[in-house]
Amino acid sequence: MHDRIVARARTSTLTAVRTVFRGARWPGDVAVRHGRIEAVGVVAEEPGDEVIRCDGDLITAGLVNTHHHLYQWMTRGRCVGCDLFGWLVELYPVWGRLDVEDVRAAALVGLAELALTGCTTAADHHYLVPRGDDSVFDAIVDAARTVGIRVHLARGSMDLGESRGGLPPDHVVEDLDAILASTESVIARHHDGERVVVTVAPCSPFSVTPELMRASAELARRHGLRLHTHLAETVDEERDVLDRFGRRPVDLLDELGWIDGDVWVAHGIHFDDAEVARLGGAGTGVAHCPSSNARLGAGMCRVVDLEAAGAPVGLGVDGVASNEVGGLQPELRQALYTARQRANRAEAFMPTDALRLATEGGARCLGRDDLGRLEPGFRADLVVWPGDDLGDVPDPLAGLVLGPDRRARHVFVDGEPVVRDETLLGADERALRRDLTERARRLWT
Ligand SMILES: [Zn+2]
């Protein structure tokens, strides 16, 4: 069904002489040539420039989503009163019924929603491979190409089923050797280091074995790839790891070779002071997912302390089954509120801090030194935000972070248009949603 909804052409600016975004209220003009930012501020006109008027609007670097489970769009609005373990136990069997076309449909909608809300790079942690069919990863990559944004494809995995003391039912986990062979194959099929970046990503301490964690780290480092997993999301996880291993989650990961500068973890909430210092010293990144954490009552990440210790911190939507909002832009406001609530101080976290997390902090988590800043030489991943309602707001960036949820006016990746005039160019957004709704209904009958 997806074939008939992918058909709109994008015109490329990679071949144009130069594109100039002119007259934005912040930061002024931006010039783009050959997929890179050439100049920011005041740009003199050149013959042949393609000019895009941005009067009154804001331009930022494209947002970077450091943690997502795109497939979860199939199971929104369920288990709304559950904590993490209760929520997982109810949803694992449903996720076990997903097929490849379901994952494709969810990835198309999830990535479209991200693009429309200003996200240009998305990390998808996909750890469900029903019946061992790893073409689910091909489907996610296809969806990213259709929508037009970058994907950091985290080849997730689970090998610890219920019968061996894990949380997931046995029929949704894979065999360790099959996981490693498939991961090698996914790297060979898809990793290009720019538009599709593969990451090795065992799921969580309560769904994988220490053997899989060690073997995954070895495999990733042999290929020069990064590692990702869930860590310290809930007090239940901490108790489970203490019961089974006699140590705290960070100590366990450290023993397995995972507290290092090529790793970023999702959530990272329940760290003591010494653990925050260890993570910062090692340069281990944290994907902060404030709305998901709030929905599941998981706790509040120590963002200010982690950044002060030197840890990269980015923002994540997390799956839409625990967030219900698929856009990254509202997470900026939520991150600011969460940091201030945790610190009991308003000045602890400012709008520019939230924007930094969502752009360069996320790029650091993903190991991308070519993304996340609106500066000459960086890739031309940028967002033009409508500023029509912010004309009377003294600081437009504060208006963007604290004001109402908004969609991007235009989105460019590598200088190529992905969203123009709030419309996705690569596919018909409404058709994608209709297709997904039909598929999701089927799961529950
Ligand atoms: Zn997650």
**What digits encode the pLDDT tens for the residues 165-220?**
999 999 999 999 999 999 999 999 999 999 999 999 999 989 999 999 999 999 99
Instruction: Specify the pLDDT at position 16.
Output: 58
Map tokens 């924007």 to a residue: 355
Q: Residue 11 Cα, ligand 1 centroid: separation in angstroms?
A: 35
Contact 95, 172 (CB under 8 A): yes
Q: Give the CB-side neighbour count of residue 25, counting CA atoms within 13 A.
A: 18
Instruction: Specify the pLDDT at position 176.
Output: 97
Q: Which of 106, 93, 80, 96 is nearest to 322 (CA)?
A: 80
Distance between CA atoms of residues 356 and 251, nearest Å: 29
Instruction: Specify the pLDDT at position 256.
Output: 97
Q: Residue 102 Cα, ligand 1 centroid: separation in angstroms?
A: 19
Question: Which residues, in sequence order, are bridge partners of residue 419?
Answer: 411, 424
Q: Residue 319 Cα, ligand 1 centroid: separation in angstroms?
A: 6
The packing angle between helices 135-147 and 176-190, to 10°, is: 30
Q: Residue 372 Cα, ligand 1 centroid: separation in angstroms?
A: 22
Q: Residue 229 Cα, ligand 1 centroid: separation in angstroms?
A: 8
Map tokens 């890739």 to a residue: 379
pLDDT tens profile 314-372: 999 999 888 888 999 999 999 999 999 999 999 999 999 999 999 999 999 999 999 99
What pTM was computed for the model? Answer: 0.95
Q: Residue 10 Cα, ligand 1 centroid: separation in angstroms?
A: 32
Contact 424, 146 (CB under 8 A): no
Q: Which of 47, 76, 109 is nearest to 426 (CA)?
A: 109
Instruction: Specify the pLDDT at position 320.
Output: 86
Map tokens 């990733």 to a residue: 220
Instruction: Specify the pLDDT at position 224.
Output: 98
Which amino acid is it at 93?
P
Instruction: Specify the pLDDT at position 5.
Output: 41
Q: Residue 382 Cα, ligand 1 centroid: separation in angstroms?
A: 26
Q: Residue 383 Cα, ligand 1 centroid: separation in angstroms?
A: 26
Q: Residue 110 Cα, ligand 1 centroid: separation in angstroms?
A: 14
Which stretches of the chain drop beneath a pLDDT of 70?
A: 1-16, 445
Q: Residue 126 Cα, ligand 1 centroid: separation in angstroms?
A: 9
pLDDT tens profile 391-401: 999 999 999 99
Distance between CA atoms of residues 188 and 340, nearest Å: 44
Contact 262, 367 (CB under 8 A): yes
